[in-house]
Structure 1
Amino acid sequence: MQLAMNPARPMIRLLLACAPLAFPGLAFGRTAAPTPEEVLANAARYTVKINVQTTTGLNADNTGEHSGTGFLIDRERGWFLTNAHVASRSPGKIALSFKGGKPIPARRVHVDTFMDVAVLAIPPQLIPATASVANLECGSLPQEGASVFAYGHPWGLDFTASRGIVSGFSWFSPQELIQTDATINHGNSGGPLIRVSDGKVVGISSHSYKDAEDKSATAVGLAQPMPSACRILSLMRQGKDANLKLLPIDVATRRKGAEPTVAGESQLAPDFLPGDQIIRINGSDEIRSYPEMVDLLRGSEGPVFVTVKRGEKIVEIQSPLKAVPNPLSERALNVSGLVLSEPWRVDNAEVDPTGSLVVVDIKTESDLGATDVRVAYRLKYVNGRAFRRISELYEYLATLQDGYEIQMIFWQPTDYEQFSGGHVVATVQKGKLEWIAAVD
């Protein structure tokens, strides 16, 4: 993988506004550079272990118990930063624990699956007096070659570290991630990637990557860059909407180091033309990548002014925004063990323009357990009727008597192994209807 932006350049200059944030509890009270031993001792005071028990897997979340890492970033608010895939978007119980401490129930206050970032909270009075607050590097990306620690709980080895360097910045669409040879394993997810020279957290350990077909391959570690996460935290601290917002157009995102390019026409924003290169948002510095564009759109409350390059011309366009549903405000409907929700994927208009309801989980007690219906299938018809709102489906099913046979027709989306999609017909007996909220 090659660098998709200049690492010496801040991810977006707008994020420099995050630099003055008064994140309390700097790691060290003196100006001399900390020793590696001091960096790790401090990490042990702000890092926590997170345990999650998920009862229903919404939006492709797994059910059951899993664990990860997080770290304290705001003592007054009781906020902890971690990965979205650690916090999950599904109902369940979350608890976190400091080193040597007992589990403390936590709640989700923000989950962003695009950034794979989540913020958890506990009552501030339950934070130990000995705990410190992580010192975040909000202003810029770390330099290649910088020595870093990945701190967390790999494979249940709690509060331990691995050491490596920042190897570069790799493109995993639609994100640019910090690549490191510091070992990141199961249990490290959501933990701090710490620069050894000053103890600042430069990223959030996310996952590891290797070629599954090469048995001799060594995995590389990947981490979410801190500046984009700081943008979310800055908006939250100001009481503003930090949820993901996008332009109502298709944008090509898979080219490394290229300006976002309009990839289709849109009735909501007809002034864009396919091939337009998006170079500025609201007069910003020139945009270098798709993640920069997303960071600039986050927090916007109304139409934005978009500068595009169209051939040799520079064109200014006023565009509305498309709000992406907040995963914590979503709810699903359990119909006799079949759990359905409204579409939640960012690309749903492209995949299924009709907006069919989506299968997000199938309980073991469901009549569909032995059928070909799977999670992510689209519900096209119920007893010959199409439903686009989960509330409308509930109103219809509530009129049926328990035990009434319901015929359902599903559409099976294609994947890489399929030549084409198909349709599946299945029946269930109408039973108790249950609403399932993302937050208990």
Structure 2
Amino acid sequence: MLGNVFQKFSGGCMMVFRRQGEVVQFLGTAFLVHEEGYLLSVSHILPEEGQLMVVPGEVGSEFAPISQETVTSIPVKVVRRSLERDIALLKMDQHIGIRMPDHFIGTATSSLIGNSVMALGFAFGHQALHNLVAMNAVVSAKVISNNQTRILLFDSMIHHGDRGGPLVSVEDGLIIGIINGRFDPQEASKEYTDGRNTVETNTNISYAVAIDYGVDLMEKEGLKPH
């Protein structure tokens, strides 16, 4: 079942880069959500300056080089952002033939605590390693953040390159979240405590923003989610 989830979504996950002058910098992960070349990612990895581009990774389950000497880049632009929810909708600047699976976007409300999920992202892109990495986890908690954002906690330690990738429900094979970062309990609790009685915590818990906010951005752009 896990392998089927990976095969379904691996082709739609892409590396995000910024070109500024002669410098090309890896930023994180994005994933396709519409056949007209739209992708979702997290806003905080996408700077306002420089040319953004996405690069497809190697598709399939065969052994592949950990770094690619040449890549095919596709220019993209940010068409909508939600700074409050920390997500962004991107669009490819050129038309390419894209085939999307039917019914692949779910809702975070349907996932139960304890359900299996798969996190997908280019975990080590900042180290110039271009492999898509799949991580198995479970939904550890469903919480509302300080700014009233619905987030999913899951028990896998994501890396910086995973940010912007999809969190997929293994049970039904639907995307339920957009991977954002590692969960910081001290940051989350700062409005409720003065810090004197808190204990510093190293945790392997990460979090994803509910995909429902990404669907909202798509609908504002006039797109019908699958």
Q: TM range, normalised to the smaller chain? A: 0.7 to 0.9
Which of 43, 46, 49 matches 2:12? 46
Aligned to 1:229: 214
1:338-375 deviation digits (Å, cap 9, x = unpaired) = xxxxxxxxxxxxxxxxxxxxxxxxxxxxxxxxxxxxxx
Q: 1:92 aligns with which of 50, 56, 64?
A: 50
Distance in 2, matches of 1:139 and 1:180, equals 13
Instruction: Sort the Cα spacing of 1:208 and 1:145 in 2 relative to 1 into closer, same or farther, 3 A.
Output: same
Shift, 1:125, TM fit: 3.0
Matched, 1:168 2:141: yes
1:215: Cα distance to partner?
7.2
Identical amino acids, percent of aligned pairs: 21
1:228-264 alpha-carbon deviations (Å, 9 max, x no partner): 221221221169xxxxxxxxxxxxxxxxxxxxxxxxx
Partner residue, 1:78:
37
- 1:112 equivalenced with 2:82 (yes/no): yes
Residue 73 of structure 1 aligns to a residue whose secondary structure is strand
Whole-Å Cα distance in 2 between the matches of residues 54 and 141 of structure 1?
A: 41
Structure 1 residues 67, 238: closer, same or farther in 2, change over 3 A?
A: closer
Match of 1:69 in 2: 29
> Are 2:206 and 1:209 equivalent residues in the alignment?
no
Matched ranges for 1:252-267 at <5 A: none
The answer as to whether partners of 2:156 and 2:204 remain within 8 angstroms in 1 is: no
Which letter does structure 2 place at the counterpart of 1:68? G
Gaps of 5+ in 2: 59-70, 187-197
- Partners of 2:183 and 2:206 within 8 A in 1: yes
The 3 A distance-change label for structure 1 pair 187 and 181 is: same
Q: Is the 8 A contact 2:121 2:132 kept in 1?
A: yes
Q: How many residues align?
A: 195
* Cα RMSD for the two superposed structures: 2.8
Q: 1:65 to 1:123 in 2, by over 3 A?
A: closer
Instruction: Normalising by structure 2, report the TM-score.
Output: 0.76
Local SS of the residue matching 1:136: coil
Q: Give the whole-Å Cα distance in 2 for the aligned partners of 1:138 and 1:216.
A: 30
| Counterpart position of 2:162 | 188
- Residues 210 and 219 of structure 1 are in contact (CA less than 8 Å); yes or no, is this contact kept in structure 2? no
Measure, in 2, the Cα distance between the counterparts of 1:134 and 1:185. 28
Q: 1:99 to 1:133 in 2, by over 3 A?
A: farther
Larger RCO (CA within 8 A; separation ≥ 6): 2
CA drift at 1:216: 6.6
- In structure 1, C-alpha distance between the alignment counterparts of 2:42 and 2:103, rounded to whole Å: 16
Q: Conserved in 2, the CA contact under 8 Å of 1:46 and 1:134?
A: no
Equivalent residues of 2:75, 2:93 under 8 A apart: no
C-alpha separation in 1, matches of 2:53 and 2:132? 16
**1:72–1:133: 8 Å Cα contact kept in structure 2?**
no
Q: Give the conservation status (yes or no) of the 8 Å contact 1:71–1:134.
A: no
Output the TM-score relative to the length of structure 1. Answer: 0.41
